[in-house]
Amino acid sequence: MNQITELKSVIGKEASHNYSPTLRAKLIKVGKSYCKFEVVDSPYKGSISASNNYLTGQIISTPTWISYNCFFA
């Protein structure tokens, strides 16, 4: 199984994502080079990342290899 196939199996799931302003995101689309994520609320109450919860719903894009590491590394 390659990285793209594995990522397609987790579309719709949330993961820790260091490039998300809330440090959490949900995978919504997988491409050959990039993947799209939707920013979700931070579960870390009282943290700096939780203060960014107003950004929930924004779409961010990261390279496929980074996206793969969010779920499988």
Its domain, for residue 67, covers 3-72
Cβ-in-10-Å burial (0-12, 13-18, 19+) of 7 comes to buried
As a whole number of Å, the CA-based R_g of the chain is 12
For residue 49, the model assigns a pLDDT of 83
Number of domains the chain contains: 1
For residue 1, the model assigns a pLDDT of 72
Residues 6+ apart with CB under 8 A from 49: 21, 22, 23, 24, 42
pLDDT digits (tens, 9 = 90+) for 12-52: 999 999 999 999 999 999 999 999 999 999 988 888 888 89
Cα–Cα dist 42/70, whole Å = 15
